[in-house]
Amino acid sequence: MTDSLMATYNRLAVGFERGEGARLWDTQGREYLDAITGIAVCGLGHAHPAVQQALCTQAGRLLHTSNLYQIPLQRQLGDQLTELTGMERAFFCNSGAEANEAAIKLARKHGHACGIDSPAIIVMEHSFHGRTLATLSATGNRKAQAGFEPLVQGFVRVPFDDPEALRKTAEIRHDICAVLVEPIQGEGGVHIPSADYLPALRQICDQQGWLLMFDEIQCGMGRSGKFLAHQHTPIQPDVLTLAKALGNGVPIGACLARGEAAQLFGPGSHGSTFGGNPLACAAALAVLEIMQAEDIPARAAVGGERLKQALSQGLADLDGLLEIRGQGMMLGIELDRPCAELVSQALEQGLLINVTAERVVRLLPPLNLSDADIQLLSDRLTRLIRAFLTP
């Protein structure tokens, strides 16, 4: 039988027809515990009643108007996001890649404003910023880039969590205009930098006149235990990107900026046909309301610590376990060998997980996961990893 879909995904042999909270049910009616949430998208779990109600109400009123006109819900969402983040202006789009594209364009605008003919952006090894051509070029994963050359020029790659590498780059390159970095690397294997890393980047950017741009698409929106991952430090970026959990499953992304960066775009500089339409903004507003009313970031911090402790107790004596790391509900379990087969083994046990960087089990469960489900997740995963490492 001819497959009508391009072979862009190596799909597992399961499809889901409904979800509720941390649970999904497949087309055969079998129940699963979801510990990946569409790769950090459904942070509030599946079919949250308040998000569902907001979408149904808005769908009955108005789905879409062009950005040629005023969109009151978009302005309302922009006001709330800038207040929560300390930024000044927002641009709305449909995805994380689009949000990062906007950030890259802001950086280049800044570079040209500084008199740089061919401005370059410092990005990190093992980073992930998207799959459009520019964001793929910014991504620090050669495997994802292979076959798509020539890549977009204007990116300089340095090691993550190494401020000295930026200082050395500043000495030899005079075309740098910005730094783009994930406060916590997700696809790269759930890596949290040293406590002084982001403040050091802020200092270097201030000294050099560079924009500091944080990609919080995976680690933001409460995932790390704060509303934004960089809020574990006292510093502010110049540009900030969000997507994934912003709409809890409804596609929406945002590029936020402050200071000079907030003034760089004018009419015609950038745009998005669907970005920030009334339906997407209604979903995101409902998400923000729930996050604040139920203090979701704090719940993620507490729940994530319980999950990490439970996994540590269950796996501590295994020789093949290298590290359990992470922050809030963003955890990585690094083993001493490739472990992609754990994904299908977990599926057979009614558990949805993901493996990244070949040997890191990545967990991105709902931020409001119950204590009972935390224990259930830990028990199932502990059994799987034990059986995998000690066959």
- Predicted pLDDT of residue 340: 97
pLDDT band at 15 (very low <50, low <70, confident <90, very high): very high
pLDDT tens digits, one per residue of 294-328: 999 999 999 999 999 999 999 999 999 999 999 99
The mean pLDDT of the chain is 97
For the segment 13-30, the average pLDDT, to the nearest whole number, is: 97
pLDDT band at 391 (very low <50, low <70, confident <90, very high): confident
Axis crossing angle, helix 341-348 with helix 371-389, rounded to the nearest 10: 130
pLDDT band at 2 (very low <50, low <70, confident <90, very high): low
For the segment 216-224, the average pLDDT, to the nearest whole number, is: 98
Distances (CA, A) of 305 to 280, 287, 290, 359: 32, 23, 22, 22
pLDDT tens digits, one per residue of 120-131: 999 999 999 999
Q: Which residues pair with 211 in a beta bridge?
A: 178
Between CA 328 and CA 217 the distance in angstroms is: 15
Q: What is the dihedral of CA 89, 220, 231, 134, to 10 degrees?
A: -60
- Predicted pLDDT of residue 167: 97
- Predicted pLDDT of residue 128: 97
pLDDT at 1 over 60: no
| Residue 315: φ, ψ to 5° | -115, 0
- Predicted pLDDT of residue 47: 97
Q: What percent of the chain has pLDDT over 90?
A: 98
327 close to 192: Cβ distance less than 8 angstroms:
yes
The DSSP element (H or E) to which 122 belongs, if any, is strand 120-124
pLDDT at 356 over 60: yes
Which of the 8 DSSP states describes residue 23? E
pLDDT tens digits, one per residue of 141-179: 999 999 999 999 999 999 999 999 999 999 999 999 999
pLDDT tens digits, one per residue of 81-120: 999 999 999 999 999 999 999 999 999 999 999 999 999 9
- Predicted pLDDT of residue 166: 97
For the segment 247-261, the average pLDDT, to the nearest whole number, is: 98
Taking CA 362 as the corner, what is the angle to CA 29 and CA 48, rounded to the nearest 5 degrees? Answer: 50
pLDDT at 36 over 70: yes
pLDDT tens digits, one per residue of 259-297: 999 999 999 999 999 999 999 999 999 999 999 999 999
- Predicted pLDDT of residue 39: 97
